[in-house]
Amino acid sequence: MTNATPGWYPDTETPGRLRWWDGRQWTNDFTPLPPAPTVTTAPPPAAPGEARPWFSRVPMWGRVVAGLVLLVALWLLAPFVAMVALVVLVTGIVSLARNTPTWLRFRSRSSAAIWTVAAVVAFAVAGGITGATSPKNASSVAQAVPAATASPTPSPTHTASATPFADDQAALAAFAGQPGTVADASATTDKTAFSVLDTLAVKGRAPKTGYDRAQFGQRWLDVDRNGCDTRNDILGRDLKDAVRSGTCRVTGGTLADPYTGRSIAFVRGQGTSELVQIDHVVALSDAWQKGAQQLTADQRASFANDPLNLLAVDGAANAQKSDGDAATWLPAQKSYRCTYVAAQIAVKATYGLWVTEAERDAMKRVLESCPEQVVPTSAFAAPAPVAAPEPEPVVAPVVAPEPAPAQPQPAPAEPAPAPPAEDAYYANCDAVRAAGKAPLYRDQPGYRSKLDRDGDGVACE
């Protein structure tokens, strides 16, 4: 190289134009204008390769095709490109940190920085392509299960498992005990969630010591003795258009998931059964730490298989919930939260479990939007006792006093003999009338035939 002054010089390849020399090399800047700075020392002639880069001679359509081919190659070789970019990225960082040459032999710190940035971009692009193209489910699952409808609320994705689902492997087992709860149906019947929540004890969470799933009986017992295990009972209850193989076994259907609001196609089988799981509304572990340790074995088995405490839900949402209570987890679908919290309150009241202070406060916050929310009642709870009717007041019979013995009636007095008739004499009828005796009858004193002129027995008429 020569130390020629930067300026315009005649182009040795194309006469009639000038080309710019920047002091170190020829550039691709040309000008037809004749004026150019006058120099005393001519620069070296341009090398044949510097005259025109090869890509500048490629037409536009060729560049487009080459770009598409490069994108397809990057798409297919994305994992390999990501690995190479990661190696270059790490090497560039080491080179910049130590300021020493590496096995890639970067010419300078600036070139190392450029390669490092390019490696970051390539790794990000290749990693994104790899994540977008990697299948989430086996091809057989993709053909058997139609895509779920879009969820109105965010929901974690679930990857199908290649191992058989444990719930599908559980054999039907009869329940040897008797279903039972702590409280009878009167604890929840026709009551609001707010009023029942106020009856629950508030305590701290007890240690988890001694907890095991087996403490709640064998998985999915036939507690209600209808011949079907509890999982199939709940699938048949919660799935729309449930398909059965035989009397009990549910093999397909559609779930309107209450936790996320998504519509999920359920197909029984390896890698698909776990997409719909049966959730304990009050988790077994949570119950163990809040009073279930004191329950009998029959009561714990009833708790684990009570339809009041069971829901068919999205498997990923169920995994996200784990054994959380209302203070740590609530359904993503906000419109279902009142029903969810009311069910938790009903379960805890029915089985004599308590709540923590944080859990109670979280439940109250949810119920503020639905103060009249009614709690459900367990089918396993004993009927509410029927109040005995109040006895009617006993009216003492009125005893009529015995009649007094009849007193003997005195013998009727004999009538006194009539006084002898007085002798009377009336000279004429005027005397009879003056004495007030008119008329005068035949048998009366003083009657005389002379006074009775017509002889009819009545004188002085």
**Top-confidence range, 16-25, 137-146, 448-457:** 16-25
Q: How far apart are CA 327 and CA 311, in angstroms?
A: 19
Confidence of residue 293 (pLDDT cuts 50, 70, 90): very high
What token pair was written down for 21? 């020399």
What token pair was written down for 443? 């048998």
> Is the pLDDT reported for residue 409 higher than 60?
yes
Q: Which residue has the higher pLDDT, 344 or 432?
A: 344
Tell me which of 262-266, 314-318, 388-392 is least confident.
388-392
Measuring CA to CA, which residue among 279, 253, 281 is closest to residue 266?
253
DSSP state of 411: P
H or E stretch at 95: helix 78-98
Mean pLDDT of 146-171: 47
Mean pLDDT of 343-369: 97
pLDDT value at position 242?
94
Q: Taking a C-beta distance cutoff of 8 angstroms, is the pair 98, 104 a contact?
A: no
Whole-number average pLDDT of the chain: 80
Q: How far apart are CA 264 and CA 151, in angstroms?
A: 10
Q: Taking a C-beta distance cutoff of 8 angstroms, is the pair 181, 378 a contact?
A: yes
> Is the pLDDT reported for residue 236 higher than 80?
yes
Measuring CA to CA, which residue among 231, 255, 196 is closest to residue 307?
231
Confidence of residue 235 (pLDDT cuts 50, 70, 90): very high
**Degrees to nearest 5, angle at CA 160 with 159 and 166:** 125
pLDDT value at position 87?
79
pLDDT tens-digit series, residues 68-78: 887 777 777 77
Q: Which residues of 341-357 are buried (b: 16+ CB within 10 A; e: fewer)?
A: bbbbbbbbbbbbbbbbe
The distance from CA 79 to its chain's CA centroid, rounded to whole angstroms, is: 41
Which amino acid is located at 37 in the chain?
P
Confidence of residue 391 (pLDDT cuts 50, 70, 90): confident
Burial class (CB in 10 A: 0-12, 13-18, 19+), 299: buried
Q: How far apart are CA 262 and CA 157, in angstroms?
A: 12
> Is the pLDDT reported for residue 273 higher than 80?
yes
Which amino acid is located at 374 in the chain?
V
Confidence of residue 61 (pLDDT cuts 50, 70, 90): confident
Mean pLDDT of 140-149: 36
Q: Taking a C-beta distance cutoff of 8 angstroms, is the pair 313, 259 a contact?
A: yes
Which amino acid is located at 27 in the chain?
T
pLDDT value at position 151?
38
Show the beta-strand stretches assigned E in 227-315.
Answer: 240-245, 249-256, 263-267, 276-280, 310-314
Which residues 6+ apart lie within 8 Å of 366 measured at CB? 326, 330, 337, 338, 341
Mean pLDDT of 92-113: 71
Q: Helices 60-76 and 78-98, interaxial angle, to 10°?
A: 90
Q: Taking a C-beta distance cutoff of 8 angstroms, is the pair 255, 312 a contact?
A: yes
Q: Taking a C-beta distance cutoff of 8 angstroms, is the pair 92, 106 a contact?
A: yes
